[in-house]
Structure 1
Amino acid sequence: MTMNVHEGTVRRPAATRRAGRLAVAGVAVIALAACGGGTEAGGGDGEDDGGTVTLQFIHPEVAGSFDPLIEAYEASHPGVRIEATNVPFDQLQSTLQSRLSQGDSSIDVYTVDPSRIPGIVAREQLLDISDLMDQAEEATIPSSLEPNVVDGKLWSLPIWTSEQYLYYNPTLLEQAGITPPSKDPAQRWTWEQVVEAARQAQAAGAEHGLLIEQINRYYQLQPLAESLGGGPGLSGDDLLTPDLTNDGWVRAMTWFRDIHESGVAPRGIAPDQMGPLFAAGKAAFYVGGPWVIPGWKAENAAFGIAPHPYFADGEPATPTDSWSWGISPHSEHVEEAKEFLEWAALTTEGSLATIEKIFIPPTNAEAFDEYMGRLDASVPGVTEGAGDLMLHELENTAVHRPPSLGYIQFEEMMVNVFEDIRNGSDPEERLSKAEEELESAFSRLR
Structure 2
Amino acid sequence: MKTRKVLALTVSAAMIATLGLAGCGKSGDSGKSDSKTEAKGGSDSVTLKWVSQGPGEDSWEGLTKPILEEYEKETGVHIDAEFYSFNDLFEVIETKAAAGNADFDVMSVDVTYIAKYGTSGYLEPLDQYFSDEDKAKWDDASYQAGVWEDTMYAAPENTSTQELYYNKTLLDKAGITIPENDENNRLTYEQVADLAKQGLEKLDPDGTQGLIGFDFQQVSRVYQMNMLANAMGGKNISDDGYSLDGVVNTEPWINAMTWYQGLVNDGIASKGYDADQLGDQFYAGKMLFMVGGTWTPSSMKADDEIGYTYAPCFEGYEDKAATSTGSWYFGINSNSKNKDAAADFIKWFTLEKGSDMWLEINGDVPSRLDKQDEIKNDPEASMDMKIAAYEAANTAVPRAVTPVFGEYSTVLDQAWEDVRNGADVKETLDNAIEQFESAVAAYKK
Q: TM-score when scaled to structure 2?
A: 0.76
Of 296, 301, 305, the residue aligned with 2:308 is 305
What is the Cα deviation at residue 358 of structure 1?
3.7
Give the number of the structure whose alpha-carbon radius of gyration is greater: 2
Identify if the C-alpha distance between structure 1 residues 61 and 271 changes in structure 2 by more than 3 Å, giving closer, same or farther.
farther
Identify if the C-alpha distance between structure 1 residues 244 and 149 changes in structure 2 by more than 3 Å, giving closer, same or farther.
closer
Residue of structure 2 in register with 1:163 after alignment: 161
Identify if the C-alpha distance between structure 1 residues 199 and 99 changes in structure 2 by more than 3 Å, giving closer, same or farther.
farther
What is the Cα deviation at residue 287 of structure 1?
0.7
SS, match of residue 288 in structure 2:
strand
CA RMSD of aligned residues (A): 3.3
What is the Cα deviation at residue 238 of structure 1?
5.8
Query: What does the per-residue CA deviation read over 1:202-253, in whole Å, with 9 as the maximum and x for residues that have no partner?
Result: 2333622123122122121112112234x22423566635322222212211
Residue of structure 2 in register with 1:409 after alignment: 407
Residue of structure 1 in register with 2:52 after alignment: 58
What is the Cα deviation at residue 341 of structure 1?
1.6
Residue of structure 2 in register with 1:344 after alignment: 349
Of 126, 130, 139, the residue aligned with 2:123 is 126
Measure, in 2, the Cα distance between the counterparts of 1:369 and 1:171.
Answer: 32
Query: What does the per-residue CA deviation read over 1:26-69, in whole Å, with 9 as the maximum and x for residues that have no partner?
Result: xxxxxxxxxx9442699xxx9xxxx8836232226565346333
Residue of structure 1 in register with 2:34 after alignment: none
What is the Cα deviation at residue 289 of structure 1?
2.3
Measure, in 2, the Cα distance between the counterparts of 1:422 and 1:103.
Answer: 44
CA contact (8 A) 2:109 2:331 kept: yes
Identify if the C-alpha distance between structure 1 residues 377 and 295 changes in structure 2 by more than 3 Å, giving closer, same or farther.
farther
Residue of structure 2 in register with 1:100 after alignment: 97
Amino acid at match of 1:321: G
Unaligned 5+ segments in structure 1 are 1-35
What is the Cα deviation at residue 257 of structure 1?
2.7
5 Å matches for 1:267-282?
267-282=271-286
Identity of aligned residues (%): 27
Identify if the C-alpha distance between structure 1 residues 266 and 241 changes in structure 2 by more than 3 Å, giving closer, same or farther.
closer
SS, match of residue 132 in structure 1:
coil
Identify if the C-alpha distance between structure 1 residues 79 and 391 changes in structure 2 by more than 3 Å, giving closer, same or farther.
closer
Amino acid at match of 1:235: S
Instruction: Establish whether residue 334 from structure 1 lines up as the match of residue 328 from structure 2.
Output: no
SS, match of residue 365 in structure 2:
coil
Residue of structure 2 in register with 1:26 after alignment: none
Residue of structure 1 in register with 2:83 after alignment: 85
Measure, in 1, the Cα distance between the counterparts of 2:393 and 2:155.
Answer: 21
Measure, in 2, the Cα distance between the counterparts of 1:261 and 1:91.
Answer: 39
Of 49, 52, 62, the residue aligned with 1:67 is 62
Measure, in 2, the Cα distance between the counterparts of 1:139 and 1:211.
Answer: 35
Query: What does the per-residue CA deviation read over 1:358-378, in whole Å, with 9 as the maximum and x for residues that have no partner?
Result: 43222234443444467x645
Unaligned 5+ segments in structure 2 are 13-44, 205-210
Residue of structure 2 in register with 1:399 after alignment: 397
SS, match of residue 414 in structure 2:
helix
CA contact (8 A) 1:168 1:180 kept: no
Residue of structure 2 in register with 1:264 after alignment: 268
CA contact (8 A) 1:167 1:303 kept: yes
Out of 168-177 and 359-368, give the one that drifted further.
359-368
Amino acid at match of 1:129: L
SS, match of residue 131 in structure 1:
coil
Residue of structure 1 in register with 2:323 after alignment: 318
Measure, in 2, the Cα distance between the counterparts of 1:391 and 1:72.
Answer: 23
Measure, in 1, the Cα distance between the counterparts of 2:272 and 2:224.
Answer: 17
What is the Cα deviation at residue 305 of structure 1?
1.6
Superposition misfits of 4+ residues, deviation over 6 angstroms: none
What is the Cα deviation at residue 436 of structure 1?
0.5
CA contact (8 A) 2:282 2:290 kept: yes
Identify if the C-alpha distance between structure 1 residues 82 and 264 changes in structure 2 by more than 3 Å, giving closer, same or farther.
farther
Identify if the C-alpha distance between structure 1 residues 186 and 120 changes in structure 2 by more than 3 Å, giving closer, same or farther.
same
CA contact (8 A) 1:182 1:306 kept: no
What is the Cα deviation at residue 125 of structure 1?
0.9
Query: What does the per-residue CA deviation read over 1:280-321, in whole Å, with 9 as the maximum and x for residues that have no partner?
Result: 32211111122323443x643511122211222434222233
Residue of structure 2 in register with 1:437 after alignment: 435
Identify if the C-alpha distance between structure 1 residues 378 and 281 changes in structure 2 by more than 3 Å, giving closer, same or farther.
farther
Query: What does the per-residue CA deviation read over 1:248-268, in whole Å, with 9 as the maximum and x for residues that have no partner?
Result: 212211222333344322233
CA contact (8 A) 1:58 1:107 kept: no
SS, match of residue 204 in structure 1:
helix
Task: Name the count of aligned residue pairs.
Answer: 394
5 Å matches for 1:107-256?
107-114=104-111, 116-134=113-131, 137=134, 140-141=137-138, 143=140, 144-150=142-148, 152-205=150-203, 207-229=211-233, 231-236=234-239, 240-242=243-245, 243-256=247-260
CA contact (8 A) 2:241 2:400 kept: no
SS, match of residue 309 in structure 1:
coil
What is the Cα deviation at residue 194 of structure 1?
1.4
SS, match of residue 184 in structure 1:
coil
